[in-house]
Amino acid sequence: MVEIIPANNHIDEFLCLVKEYTDTILAEGEEVARTLAVQHLDDELGHVAAKYGQPGECMYIARVDGVPAGCGALTRHDADYCELKRLYVRPSFRAQKLGRQLLERIIGDARQLGYRYMRLDTFPFMESAIRLYETYGFRRIGKYNDNPAPSALFMELTLFRP
């Protein structure tokens, strides 16, 4: 059975998944390491509830038969836009469409919270994730944050049209 649950009371599980995700992408090289440093990953991991548990933000864990299988989060930037963060599914669970389920839940929350746009940054090596984002209507945009990676891709989903 698949459950998508708020991670607020399951911080240790969320942290474990985020660390697994960041360890995985850090293996791709120095460009990723610089990006995570600019994003203050160490501070984020030390203060997860402050980063993703404030009003207008959320974090989720996907479980399969009670086993933590994936995670994702939403962080507020301003009244109009939020950012999708740390969407990750463990490799052994990827055939179960958990990324879709997490993304749908987070997009639904963003709409309910009244955001007009959801943004994200990613890397070209994350081909499956990029295809997923494009399937849900994300389009490529110009740089919107301080990500220092020359190869970084920036994407945006319009949640509400003015």
Query: What would the pLDDT profile of 148-161 be if each residue is shown by its tens digit?
Result: 888 999 999 999 87
Per-residue exposure over 127-161, b if at least 16 CB sit within 10 Å of its own CB, e if not:
eebbebbeeeebeeeeebeebebeebbbbbbebee
Q: Would you kindly state where each structural domain of the chain is located, as residue ranges? A: 2-117
* 56: DSSP letter: T
pTM for the whole structure: 0.92
Cross-strand partners of 120: 155
Q: pLDDT-based confidence at 101, cuts 50/70/90?
A: very high
CATH top-level class of 2-117:
alpha beta
How confident is the model over 4-29, as pLDDT tens digits? 999 999 999 999 999 999 989 888 88
CA neighbor of 154 nearest in space, from 99, 144, 84: 144
Q: Around Cβ 102, how many Cβ atoms within 10 Å? A: 24
When pLDDT is averaged across residues 34-58 and rounded to a whole number, the result is: 85
Q: What is the mean pLDDT of the chain?
A: 93
When pLDDT is averaged across residues 104-131 and rounded to a whole number, the result is: 96
Q: CA 122, CA 23: separation in Å to the nearest integer?
A: 15
Question: In the prediction, which pLDDT does 98 show?
Answer: 96
Q: CA 9, CA 143: separation in Å to the nearest integer?
A: 34
Q: What is the largest CA-CA distance in the chain?
A: 41
Question: In the prediction, which pLDDT does 162 show?
Answer: 64
Q: pLDDT-based confidence at 51, cuts 50/70/90?
A: confident
How confident is the model over 103-115, as pLDDT tens digits? 999 999 999 999 9
